[in-house]
Amino acid sequence: MAEHNLPILVVEDDPSLREAIADTLELAGRPCVAVDGGEAALKVLGEQAFSIVVSDVRMMPMDGITLLKEIRARLPHLPVVLMTAYAEVDKAVDAMRSGACDFLLKPFEPQALLAHINKYELPASDDGAGVIAIDPASRELFSMAQRVAQTDATVLLTGESGVGKEVVARFIHRQSARKNGPFVAINCAAIPDSLLEATLFGYEKGAFTGAQQAQAGKFEQAQDGTLLLDEVTEMPMSLQAKLLRVLQEREVERVGGKKPVALNIRIIATSNRDMAEAVAKGVFREDLYYRLNVFPVAIPSLRQRREDIVPIARHFVVEHGGRFGRTGMSLSPGAETALTAHSWPGNVRELENVIQRALIMATGSSIGPEALNLAPRPGGEKPLVPELSPAVGLTEADKKVDNMKDLEREHILRTLVEVGGSRKKAIERLGISERTLRYKLQQYRDEGHFND
């Protein structure tokens, strides 16, 4: 796991042992806060964030079990390791039932303490791969993700578009026993229906016109690793039955094939839709929903974890500043205030787009609020027809369509305008499916090309 910058909370009423534990952690390069009891622990937990709590069981007036229950009520996913004497093993069992991660039998070696902390502590900040968890809601999210990563349970990640579902999925993979295996992702909404089956399950030579050689599908490609089924609710009903069978049997049969291939993979699925509603509407199989919903994880929107906004924005300033040749850029205090106050309907994806634009628009080494262009949406109402984004600050040459994606986007949005916003008419004129149009519009919305 990456280096942590959140301290460890040590709760121990014995001064000598408390000092010894603190010394052990500091010698290992781990910051800590050491307090003498449960009341003091609850006070500092309300003032700052910690990566893990290490607490004694036998304390007065509040013992470790009571403290544990209080922590579970306030911060349900903050890891807690309890220290107990051999004669108190029955209390340790009670502690595990109450939500403790584990317990250490006294006396213990420094290596045992460090091993428990490394095993259970909460990821606290940017781990070099897009994981930033400063807000308590995010810390609880990644604590839960870390716990399920230790198992092979199927995980269902839900949340608004742009919240970072794939980031969480990759985190689970990296924290799992499959971390050295492949991580394979497929967006079920981005691939045409006619190609999705062959892409997922693979095909044999001659299975259909153009199949000149056999090809392993995404399931086989993820062997011994993790397969991410992104936006699984967009999968056609015709394929859902086959997916259900693969999940039940843990084997896949290629299109045109007769020999099943045994699978050893971890499944993670995501959706930005209300899956229960999709089941009720008959567009998603109920049995498949329950097969995927083994361990559900709801990812909070960016506006629900505001303490993450500025750290994530700073991360994007460094990442994209280097890419754009604008190293050394920083956010002004006014810009950080504006970022924190914004509602972020497009979540982290919108924030990333805003920072990229601000890096281009800012004239000096500091990004001010004016460069962010965070104008509020008047009235909060959704227009019937998408508003095309103005090409502010661009030359006529810059405005020219220079690739197929731009051409496709302009064609789709212009068609919508011409038919008065009617998706049914747009589908007929464009010759695409409703699912494809819905996916494209969500993509353009997330990229900031129009407001809705």
Domain boundaries, the chain: 8-120, 136-298, 303-376, 382-451
> By the 8 A CB rule, do 367 and 330 touch?
yes
Question: Is residue 70 within 8 Å of 88, Cβ to Cβ?
Answer: no
At residue 33, the pLDDT reads: 95
Closest CA to 34 of 23, 119, 139: 23
Q: What pLDDT does 256 receive? A: 84
Write the DSSP string, 132-148.
---SHHHHHHHHHHHHH
Quote the DSSP letter at residue 123.
P
Query: What pLDDT, on a 0 to 100 scale, did the predictor assign at position 451?
Result: 55
pLDDT at 404: 56
**CATH number attached to the domain at 8-120:** 3.40.50.2300
What does the chain come to in residues? 452
pLDDT of residue 324: 83
Query: What superfamily would CATH give domain 382-451?
Result: Homeodomain-like (1.10.10.60)
CA distance 317 to 359: 7
Contacts of 329 (CB under 8 A, 6+ apart): 317, 321, 359, 362, 365, 366, 367
- Element spanning 317, H or E: helix 309-323
Q: How many Å separate Cα 104 from the centre of its chain?
A: 32
Query: What pLDDT was estimated at residue 262?
Result: 94
Tell me if the domain spanning 136-298 has CATH number 3.40.50.300.
yes
Assigned CATH topology for domain 303-376: Helicase, Ruva Protein; domain 3 (1.10.8)
- Residue 69 confidence (pLDDT): 87
What is the per-residue pLDDT for 14?
Answer: 92
pLDDT for the residue numbered 376? 58
**Model pLDDT, residue 423:** 84
434 Ramachandran zone, left/alpha/beta (phi>0; psi -120 to 50): alpha
pTM of the predicted structure, to 2 decimals: 0.60
C-alpha to C-alpha distance for 445 and 272, rounded to whole angstroms = 14
Structure tokens at 121: 């502590």
Regions of the chain with pLDDT less than 70: 1-5, 76-77, 86-98, 122-130, 375-407, 449-452
Concatenating the DSSP letter of every residue in 65-80 gives: HHHHHHHHHHSTTS-E
**Residue 34: predicted pLDDT:** 96
Interval 377-432: pLDDT, tens: 444 433 333 433 433 344 443 343 445 566 677 778 878 877 878 888 888 777 77
Is 136-298 the same fold as 8-120? yes
